[in-house]
Amino acid sequence: MNREALSGAGTAIDWARVREDFPLLARQVNGKPLIYLDSANTGQKPASVIQTVDDFYRQHNANVSRAVHTLGTEATDAYEGARKRLARFLNVRPDELVLCSGTTFAINLVAYSWALPRLKAGDTLLVSRMEHHANIVPWQLVAQRTGATIKVAEIHADGTLDLDALHAAMTGDVKLLAITQTSNVLGTVNPVREICREARKRGIVTVVDGSQAVPHRAVDVAAIGCDFYALTGHKMCGPTGTGALWARKEHLQAMPPFIGGGEMIKEVSFDGTVFNDPPHRFEAGTPNIAGFVGLGAAVDYLDALGMANVEAREAELLAHATEELDRIDGLRIVGRAPDKAAVISFLIEGVHAHDLATLLDLEGVAVRSGQHCAHPLLQFYGVAATLRASFAFYNTHEEVDAFIAALKKARALLA
Ligand SMILES: Cc1ncc(COP(=O)(O)O)c(C=O)c1O
């Protein structure tokens, strides 16, 4: 990263300089300076990540774990180095970290490799109302195949989880609880440590979706005490098609492979195959090597910035934007949890979210409109779509003001 942006002890950060690390943020959209408020969807990439990927292809490109030649060794070292850096960032062991294409793959790996062989009719999978489809649909597929059923832990109207109901729902038939750490729609940060502790007491295996948590605050996966933790690289300054599943070693060792092929084996004959040890057992085929090397650079970038600084900066942007949005008549924010990430979903009376998003785009403002891959959550609120403005540390207070001005203008046009 642009280390000069860190001054003194490293806590006072020149955020304007940090923003310059992100080349794409300098572009114009529809003749206006881009205001990118869709980081919950995917994050922008600092130059160090882009350069690392570029450098990999220019200087080191080879396949991993196969060739003894120099490039092969360099590529393998870079790939395994990224695993180590990500593991350190999450406070887990590298040999418990399976690299994969993202949260969707990570959760499907748990569903197919851990849940499918174990669950049966009479068993229950517990999920919360606020899950992303990636943490619902794989469990529905498992339920269909095994005869297990799905139970939903409900939320309060303010977007917080109903913890009493959740604990009460942890009955003897529940074998697995799948829960997000941070909601991609509401911004709610769930107390996953407490939830996993309660689940563990009852022998329930826990899967935490960390997609929206890891990019925005320091996450100590070991301290959460879950069984599985899924994350995605592209929301944390890394390349698309990167992510990871952390799992306790005893689970990984007991799990059969999900995808078969090269790299995940020790020995193959037509009489049978001896599988590789975890985590490589779950990494069949040529991985997204350049992507993971880039993810390693993203981890370095966030580390240098300091996740406590990232969290504090985003909290300021959230407070500013919330205050301004609350001044707009007829605007309703969905999700008011006290512990909240910088994600604001909202509606304006009488105006369709997609129309507003289209007009905002003409002003250079990128927000998401729709159901945010969380249909059951929007059904709970009885709304067809919301607008979602999601912030990252590289956004500015001036952008918040420009977004509010653009929103007022768009609304006036549609009224
Ligand atoms: C909470 C949450 N879970 C899962 C996902 C899926 O991530 P990916 O598409 O990178 O696999 C997302 C992406 O938006 C998300 O926000």
For residue 13, is it within any domain? Answer: no
| SS3 at position 183 | coil
Q: Which residues touch 399 (CB under 8 Å, ≥6 apart)?
A: 35, 37
What is the Å distance from ligand 1's center to 346 Cα? 20
Segment (H or E) for 138: helix 137-146
Measuring CA to CA, which residue among 239, 74, 210 is closest to residue 134? 210
Q: To the nearest whole percent, how much of the chain has pLDDT over 70?
A: 97
254 shares its domain with 106: yes
310 shares its domain with 191: no
What is the Å distance from ligand 1's center to 232 Cα? 7
Residues paired with residue 229 on neighbouring β-strands, in sequence order: 208, 246
Q: How far apart are CA 7 and CA 22, in angstroms?
A: 19
Residues with CB under 6 A from ligand 1: 102-104, 132, 134-135, 180, 184, 209, 211-212, 232, 243, 373
| pLDDT at residue 235 greater than cutoff 60 | yes
Under the banding of pLDDT at 50, 70 and 90, the label for residue 65 is confident
Under the banding of pLDDT at 50, 70 and 90, the label for residue 237 is very high
Q: What is the pLDDT of residue 11?
A: 57
Ligand 1 atom closest to Cα of 105? 11
Q: What is the pLDDT of residues 149-183, one digit of tens each?
A: 999 999 999 999 999 999 999 999 999 999 999 99
| pLDDT at residue 351 greater than cutoff 80 | yes
Q: How far apart are CA 112 and CA 305, in angstroms?
A: 37
Stretch 87-92: mean pLDDT = 98
Q: What is the pLDDT of residue 149?
A: 98
Are 112 and 236 in contact, with CB atoms under 8 Å apart? no
Set 196, 226, 237, 373: catalytic member: 373
What is the Å distance from ligand 1's center to 414 Cα? 32
Segment (H or E) for 124: strand 124-128
| Residue where a domain stops, chosen among 276, 303, 330 | 303
For residue 15, is it within any domain? Answer: no
| pLDDT at residue 145 greater than cutoff 60 | yes
Domain count, the chain: 2
Under the banding of pLDDT at 50, 70 and 90, the label for residue 203 is very high
Q: To the nearest whole percent, how much of the chain has pLDDT over 90?
A: 91
Q: What is the pLDDT of residue 353?
A: 95
| pLDDT at residue 7 greater than cutoff 80 | no
Closest C-alpha residue for ligand 1 atom 7: 103
Both tokens assigned to 287: 């991985």
280 shares its domain with 310: no
* Residue 370 or residue 112, greater confidence: 112
Q: Helices marked H in 173-306 — which ranges? A: 192-201, 221-224, 249-254, 289-305
Both tokens assigned to 246: 């952390």
Q: Helices marked H in 209-254 — which ranges? A: 221-224, 249-254
314 shares its domain with 382: yes
62 shares its domain with 88: yes
Stretch 277-298: mean pLDDT = 96
Give the rounded distance of the alpha carbon of 238 from its chain centre.
11
225 shares its domain with 120: yes
Residue 197 maps to which CATH number? 3.40.640.10
Both tokens assigned to 180: 């997000």
Stretch 200-210: mean pLDDT = 98
Q: To test ligand 1's pocket by mutation, which of 179, 232, 372 has the most ligand atoms within 8 angstroms of CB?
A: 232
Integer angstrom CA distances of residue 163 from 151, 154, 222: 14, 9, 22
Ligand 1 atom closest to Cα of 42? 14
| Residue where a domain stops, chosen among 303, 337, 358 | 303
For residue 168, is it within any domain? Answer: yes
- Structural domain including 396 reads 306-414
For residue 28, is it within any domain? Answer: no
Stretch 256-285: mean pLDDT = 90
235 shares its domain with 273: yes
Give the rounded distance of the alpha carbon of 218 from its chain centre.
13
Closest C-alpha residue for ligand 1 atom 13: 41
Stretch 406-412: mean pLDDT = 96
For residue 36, is it within any domain? Answer: no
Which range (81-85, 104-108, 301-305, 369-373) has the least confidence?
369-373
Number of H helices, E strands in the chain: 15, 19
217 shares its domain with 280: yes
Q: Is 373 a catalytic residue?
A: yes
Integer angstrom CA distances of residue 412 from 24, 29, 322, 346, 375: 30, 21, 20, 17, 29
Ligand 1 atom closest to Cα of 209? 3
385 shares its domain with 397: yes
Residues paired with residue 230 on neighbouring β-strands, in sequence order: 209, 245
Under the banding of pLDDT at 50, 70 and 90, the label for residue 10 is very low
Measuring CA to CA, which residue among 301, 298, 292 is closest to residue 56? 292
Measuring CA to CA, which residue among 108, 179, 111 is closest to residue 148? 111
Q: How far apart are CA 332 and CA 266, in angstroms?
A: 57
For 13-50, the three-class secondary structure string (H helix, E strand, C coil) is ECHHHHHCCCHHHHCEECCEECEECECCCCCCCCHHHH
| Bond preceding residue 279 cis, omega within 30 of 0 | yes
For residue 3, is it within any domain? Answer: no
What is the Å distance from ligand 1's center to 356 Cα? 24
For residue 189, is it within any domain? Answer: yes
| pLDDT at residue 256 greater than cutoff 80 | yes
Q: What is the mean pLDDT of the chain?
A: 95
Are 301 and 1 in contact, with CB atoms under 8 Å apart? yes
Q: To test ligand 1's pocket by mutation, which of 128, 211, 214, 288 has the most ligand atoms within 8 angstroms of CB?
A: 211
Amino acid at 265: I
Segment (H or E) for 407: helix 397-414
258 shares its domain with 315: no
What is the Å distance from ligand 1's center to 210 Cα? 9
| pLDDT at residue 9 greater than cutoff 50 | no
Residue 394 maps to which CATH number? 3.90.1150.10
| Residue where a domain stops, chosen among 263, 285, 303 | 303
| pLDDT at residue 66 greater than cutoff 80 | no
68 shares its domain with 182: yes
For residue 137, is it within any domain? Answer: yes
77 shares its domain with 221: yes
What is the Å distance from ligand 1's center to 267 Cα? 35
| pLDDT at residue 124 greater than cutoff 90 | yes
Q: To test ligand 1's pocket by mutation, which of 38, 184, 208, 388 has the most ligand atoms within 8 angstroms of CB?
A: 184
